Amino acid sequence: MSHNKRFVFTLAAILVFSITSVNDLKGFERSEKLSGLLGEVIEGGKSYQGNSTFNVARTVLAKSNSFYDLHVSRILETFSEFFAHSQPGSKSFPYFSNMVSSEIQALDQGSYSDSNNIGENDRSVFQKLRERFDKALLKEKILVVILLYLLISIVLLFSGVLIIRQVKSKRRKNHMEIKNLYQEQLAGFLFDDEVERIEFKGIGNEVNRQILIDEIMDLHHNLHGEAAGKLKDLYFNLGLHKDSLKKVYQRRWDKRSKGCRELAQMDVKDANERISKYIHSKNPILRMEAQVAMVKLSDEDPLAFLDELSYELSYWEQINIYDTIVYHQIAIDSYERWVDVENPSVVVFAIRMIGLFKHIHSAAKVREMLFNENAEISLAAVQAMKHLEVAEYRDDLKTLYRSETLKLISILNSQRKSKQEKDIKTLDDIIPRKVRFEIILALQPIVSPEDIPFLEREILSSNNTVRLRMHALQVLNSVVPEGVEKLDELLSRSEDELVKKMIVNIKENQES
């Protein structure tokens, strides 16, 4: 075999050996590149003339840009240097084979790897991607950008959610530990006589102070007497009232509401002027908290804010004001002052308070409101009469009943055009129907034998609801003995089976 052929075949064997020996050169793309290098070396070997083999190896080395190609080029260079110093026909091939094997071993052990080569490889990959992106169509570029944006957004979103959940979970756990600790300490402070002084952990932290305030408020609301007094003293001694005062002056409405509630419960009057401004707030929750606080904290005129209230006093606000008055036993001599204000909701509230607190001295004022043009005010007046139990106003109630009946007939006639008869009789939300029903209830404690004809007529009227007729029968049954006798008469002569069943039901309930 000629020297050129021996060189070519030997070089091919070395390359194949190095490809299969170096683990870093796995992969189709790498093998394909090495195959190309092998082809170049073989072609160079065919025209081998003396030391030109070394030049061929140098050329291959210059063409190798990647980290993996550089390793093979080093092997080729080593082979070429050795072969350039060999004579044709030399039998030193075993020495060469050992030499190449040592080179490959060094390659496996990473002796030729360095950070510069790795960085060069990374840059080449990036350059390939960049070149492919530059050659792509505009639509493909836009799609790639959108996909990258979506991928990054999803990763950031999920990462953010996980981080937030972890933070909140840890915060909740810490809050629960502090809360349990404060509960134990407060229980010992209130009910253990040996505990005279108490140190709260982390009281300098704003969050922990709020946890302690909440616990004190909850306990104070459910306790009375000495225990409630000790909590109030603790609240002031720790300076927690200053925290509540700061809330009233903050911008957030929920903080202001919380501050109003805390100050009212602990009877702190330093911020009354500020709280009074929130009575006209657009926020209904803040407005309600300010109203309740002023009822509790005002010494001279707890309901003074009702004089110029511009917003509607909702039913829920009325309940909260009433509960505050009852709970704290706030004495208000008369509500007549607010019966004449322009705000209808305030008038309704005042009439309801007159009835609930049984202000008999204001009954005449309520009677004036029975025939008010505002249906809600008229209804509130009838309901107040039910609590006041003034017998001399029976005729006024029956007159109003007839008036409301005419209004109800007018409304029902208009409703019949669009509704069936059975639907009309269940329209309990109609104000005249409510007024009529409340009048029947208001008559029960003040009914007299003179009212029997009125009640009998409403019982026998099939246009009335079953509910109203049933209550009329109960009112009639309370008139002794005339009303009871009338029931027996209706039971015997009435042709209305429904009336008979209702009378039987009333008698059975009375016997049981």
Between CA 287 and CA 302 the distance in angstroms is 15
Read off the pTM: 0.67
Write out pLDDT tens, residues 117-138: 544 454 577 788 788 888 888 8
Q: Within a 13 Å sphere around the CA of 59, how many CA atoms are in the beta-carbon half? A: 14
Instruction: Check the CA dihedral 372-374-377-379 and report its sign.
Output: positive
The 3-class SS string of 190-231 reads HHCCCCCCCCCCCCCCHHHHHHHHHHHHHHHHHCCHHHHHHH
Q: How many residues does the chain have?
A: 512
pLDDT score of 29: 47
pLDDT of residue 486 exceeding 60, the answer is: yes
Tens digits of residue pLDDT in 366-376: 999 999 999 99
172 three-class SS: helix
Given pLDDT bands bounded at 50, 70 and 90, which one contains residue 197? confident
Q: How far apart are CA 308 and CA 305, in angstroms?
A: 6
Inter-residue contact 350 to 318 (CB < 8 Å)? no
Q: 66 CB contacts (<8 Å, ≥6 apart)?
A: 33, 120, 121, 124
One-letter amino acid of 356: L
Ranges of each domain in the chain: 3-135, 140-238
| Confidence band, pLDDT 50/70/90 cuts, at residue 8 | very low
Q: What DSSP designation does 341 have?
A: S
**DSSP class of residue 87?**
P
Handedness of CA 375, 376, 379, 380 (dihedral sign): negative
Residues 6+ apart with CB under 8 A from 44: 52, 53, 56, 59, 60
Residue 465 confidence (pLDDT) above 50? yes
Q: Which tokens is 242 given? A: 């200053």
- 3 has a pLDDT exceeding 70: no
Q: Please give the Cα distance from 358 to 212 (Å, whole number).
A: 41
Distance of alpha carbon 405 from alpha carbon 437, whole angstroms: 11
Closest C-alpha among 32, 77, 22, 25 to residue 55 = 77
pLDDT in tens, 470-480: 999 999 999 99
Gap between the Cα atoms of 181 and 470, Å rounded: 58
Residue 198 identity:
I
Tell me if 286 sits within 8 A of 257, measured CB to CB. yes
Distance from C-alpha of 358 to C-alpha of 366, rounded to nearest angstrom: 11
Residue 97: pLDDT band with limits 50, 70, 90: very low
Please report which confidence band the pLDDT of residue 141 belongs to, taking 50, 70 and 90 as the band edges. Answer: confident
Angle between helix axes 240-248 and 206-222 (nearest 10 degrees) is 100
Torsion angle defined by CA atoms of residues 391, 395, 400 and 406, in that order, rounded to the nearest 10 degrees: 140
**CB < 8 Å & 24+ apart, contacts of 109-117:** 112/70, 112/71, 112/74, 113/67, 117/67, 117/70
What pLDDT sits at residue 123?
57
Of 70, 69, 96, the C-alpha closest to 82 is 96
Encoding tokens for residue 54? 């070394």
Q: Which residue has the tokens 């639509």?
A: 139
